[in-house]
């Protein structure tokens, strides 16, 4: 059974936490990053962008050591402090649409990931894992938790509900219009109760952060091999994670835009589609699918509904149930000639929040030729894929909550 562990977080003092925490670096555009670095000396982006101090852009491995240096400076300046005792941290995030996510920040063990007790549903790029392994080996901290899901547990929920009735350690809002709350669980009795709840669970599932956990586990294996007196309790074995009940996740789809029809004209493309799908031309009627294996399509100023033909529903494994995989198997690869979903620049992925209205606009502006929409993938489907040790296509899901950097940091 998987286990989770309390740890001593290095974290901001109460009065500066709203200034320190940052979104994932890749979610900022360049102008926004530069503005925050210029006007907010407390932002954790200064740690992640260490060259700003000297007006120099650092990339690749030359950035790793300066990241470590900026992190140490944040501690020396009292912006970050390390807790005296190990703790779990209840973190609640409330979005502007009132979606609420409440989970526990703690640490998992690399062995549980390597032994498939913490299951993945996405493939990782080896080059990216190796680069991030080198990064972790230099900086020796996790600044953003891996998002891990667990089955709903009434005892665990009762403990959390009791904890969040008291004043939080942190309560702050962000410019993204999220409100964050953090409670610290120091009592050993409560920590043991939390651990006992997780020890009843047969498996945990990664929702987001596949490359981060893979890199951390890879580093743990390397350091284990280099150790003469390995015990399994070394700090490098633990990976900071945000554990949340699966029924609290919000899952959206990624829609697809494709630049051309792979040499086909409109009629030829529709004839090829007809082999696999029932097609209905809906004209200017906005269409969004409401069932699995149904797709929306926007082409040449018109919406279409695509229903996978029943004689094509030959589901041999969990991956065959995934609509993103169906779209690739029957349309993107055989008809549109897109082989590599990660590298082909003819395809663009659009977060479902932007909806088919964004897809329509991009095609009407002649930036793309055709667009596809689908239903969000259920977490049950994600679990079935992970249970069968399969991997979903890239950009199959957009999962909330999105976690911030710098609220809790795990040093090892």
pTM reported for the whole predicted model: 0.92
Q: Any long-range contacts for 382-385 (C-beta under 8 Å, 24+ apart)? A: 382/121, 382/205, 382/207, 382/251, 383/119, 383/121, 383/205, 383/246, 384/318, 384/321, 385/121, 385/318, 385/319, 385/322
Tokens of 138: 């230099």
Domains, the chain, in order of start with CATH, read 4-251+400-411 (no CATH), 254-377 (3.30.1760)
How high does pLDDT run on average in the chain?
A: 95
Q: How much is the average pLDDT of 55-84? A: 95
Binned at pLDDT 50, 70 and 90, residue 98 comes out as: confident
Look at residue 377 and tell me whether its pLDDT is greater than 80.
yes
Share of the chain above pLDDT 70, in %: 100
- Asked if 305 contacts 287 with a C-beta cutoff of 8 angstroms, the reply is yes
- Asked if 368 contacts 362 with a C-beta cutoff of 8 angstroms, the reply is yes
- 282 three-state secondary structure: strand
What pLDDT is stored for residue 50 in this prediction? 95
């Amino acid at each position: 059974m998987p286990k989770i562990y309390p740890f001593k977080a290095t974290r901001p003092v109460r009065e500066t936490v709203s200034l320190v925490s940052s979104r994932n670096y890749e979610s900022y555009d360049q102008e926004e990053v530069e503005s925050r670095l210029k006007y907010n000396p407390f932002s954790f982006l200064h740690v992640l962008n260490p060259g700003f101090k000297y007006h120099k852009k650092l990339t690749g491995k030359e950035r790793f050591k300066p990241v470590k240096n900026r992190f140490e400076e944040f501690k020396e300046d009292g912006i970050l402090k390390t807790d005296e005792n190990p703790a779990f941290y209840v973190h609640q995030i409330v979005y502007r649409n009132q979606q609420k996510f409440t989970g526990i920040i703690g640490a998992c063990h690399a062995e549980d990931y390597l032994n498939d007790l913490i299951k993945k549903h996405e493939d990782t790029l080896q080059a990216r894992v190796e680069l991030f392994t080198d990064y972790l080996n230099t900086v020796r901290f996790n600044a953003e938790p891996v998002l891990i899901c667990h089955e709903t547990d009434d005892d665990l929920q009762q403990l959390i509900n009791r904890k969040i009735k008291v004043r939080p350690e942190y309560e702050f809002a962000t410019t993204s219009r999220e409100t964050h709350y953090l409670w610290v669980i120091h009592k050993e009795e409560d920590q043991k109760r939390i651990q006992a709840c997780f020890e009843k669970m047969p498996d945990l599932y990664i929702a987001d952060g596949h490359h981060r956990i893979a890199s951390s586990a890879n580093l743990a294996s390397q350091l284990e091999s280099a150790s003469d007196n390995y015990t399994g309790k070394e700090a490098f074995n633990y990976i900071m994670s945000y554990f949340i009940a699966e029924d609290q996740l919000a899952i959206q789809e990624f829609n697809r835009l494709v630049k051309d029809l792979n040499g086909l004209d409109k009629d030829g493309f529709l004839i090829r589609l007809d082999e696999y799908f029932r097609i209905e031309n809906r004209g200017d009627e906005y269409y969004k699918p409401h069932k699995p294996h149904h797709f929306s399509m926007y082409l040449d100023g018109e919406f279409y509904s695509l229903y996978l033909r029943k004689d094509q529903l030959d589901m041999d494994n969990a991956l065959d149930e995934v609509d993103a995989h169906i779209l690739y198997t029957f349309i993107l690869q055989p008809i549109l000639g897109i082989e590599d979903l990660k590298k082909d620049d003819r395809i663009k992925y659009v977060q479902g929040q932007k909806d088919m209205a964004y897809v329509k606009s991009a095609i009407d502006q002649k930036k793309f030729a055709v667009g596809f929409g689908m239903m969000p993938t259920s977490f049950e489907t994600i679990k079935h894929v992970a249970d069968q040790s399969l991997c979903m296509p890239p950009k199959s899901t957009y999962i909330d909550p999105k976690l911030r950097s710098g609220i809790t940091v795990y040093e090892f």
